[in-house]
Structure 1
Amino acid sequence: MKAGFWVAPEGEDAAMTVMPIGAEPPLRARKLNFLATSTAEEMIRRCRRTAELLPELADALAVQMADQPGRLFDITDFPDDDRELITQTLGEGEVAGVAALAGGITAQMQEAVMAGVWRIRFTDADGRLLADYIEVASIPAAVRQACSVLQPTVSHGPAPAGAMNVMPVLTEIGDRTGRYREGDSAHIITFSLFPMSPEDMSFLQDTLGAGPVQLTSRGYGTCRIVATGVRNVWSVQFYNAMDTIILDTLEICDIPAVAIAAEEDFRDSEVRLREIEEAYFK
């Protein structure tokens, strides 16, 4: 058995790929000083739509609340140079992921170095770009949209041969999902606290299934967050520097907190974005 609760179902990994754990460092580490280069100075002079967008983003951050819907800024029709400058200015922050939506549409999500600012690209089944947005939100709306169609309850057959603890775990999941209400604290099931046989884990994986959202957070270490096929049930796995799972959990919650921008993040990001605008775009 593979380590950890979540493993990609056969044939589904390619459609739900995020940057692999241990991949090259994010943009912020590679091109931290791009805005101070002569190339950036020239781009800034001709990319006025970017200069106009930045204060609008800062204004949105100033009033955004963590528990409120976010605000979208459509940059699909921006010139290529503007969109490249936006990419360089926002950089790549801690959280990235994908969400599979209806009709074969995929939302590719990347948080900026300013937490609470997201780049969202929607592509069709053939990988063609349909729309390109900046979103100010605690989590992109596409995540909740993708999860809204998931089944609300857990159903399963009898325990398999060799099972030890999977039936009590499924009972706990069913009870907690049935009682969960938006805003409740997350209920966490930690697999390291009790023995689970390979038969247990396989039955649990098959019962819950794979959901439409994968997120990866690289804050303090690496964390992979994957929606199961049951609404409000998430696999949350933490990795060490050797890409080995050190904590394997299920969370019953709306969205796991490790992926969400907090209230203070919006205020900090507003200040940072206004400093960038003042230093390079005025």
Structure 2
Amino acid sequence: MSASIPRGSVAHWIEACRPRTLPAAIAPVLVASALAAHDGRFGLVASLLCLSFALLIQIGTNLANDYFDFKKGADTAERVGPRRAVAAGLIAPEVMRRAMITVFVAAFLVGLGLLPFGGWPLLLIGLASIFCGVVYTGGPYPLAYHGWGDVFVFVFFGLVAVGATYFVQAGGVSDNAWWLGALIGALSTNILVVNNYRDIETDRKADKRTLAVRFGSTFAEWQFVAAHVVGVVALTVLWRGGLWGTVSWAILSLVALIEGVRQTLELRRAEDAPALIRLLGRTGRHVAVMALLVAVVLVS
């Protein structure tokens, strides 16, 4: 990046927000809204508010990670992968902390706008989402440092995001919504699996005990496979439940299986950090592609 760009420039903030992670926030809202449309319950305003909330939670969590990982010494010169703004000296720690708070406050305000659509239970969901976004890497018991990051992603970027988005439009949560949440949650979790697989050595030195650090690379590889299997199982359950026909199920499952096998082979054959960084991008794109395909099937 050009040296003429000042600290805290727009370019630095865009980089700190980590745009490549945003499909994980968009995907659950997309599939839940498509399901609501399929069921004749789609609400544009509620859907857009959910999208705004999800994006703000994702960005806020990214900024929190940038700040807290720096404070805990996890982002060192040995770390591979996309650079972190605070560790690289692009944004001052205190400025990042204020930005994190601002984004989470914005998410809370957007969440208040959803209360007329779903009532006070949404307030609890919103507060829990913000709380977990902070304690993912912050606080006395950071989730990501104790192996709970994968659970956080599966629950909040899968089950909760899909379920809540459908709830504010349909007034309830169907079994189909839960299974779609499992699909998106599993595929989104694999983004974290690849990230943690890449960072095993540096995370171990920083005492960041991810599942990959605690149980090793072989465990992470099987966890990656298991998440893809969960995705195919979810697609099959939804087919058996009548959400889509056999042809649609076959297409969706074939795409999921082929991409799952390709990604697994890439993970096992990766010999350096650049290969894993490429796989990380591929894994994120797969979440977006599957969400888009599912949405098309549901509204067609």
> TM (normalized to structure 2)?
0.22
Tell me which protein shows more helix as a share of its residues: 2
**Higher alpha-carbon Rg:** 1
Tell me which protein shows more strand as a share of its residues: 1
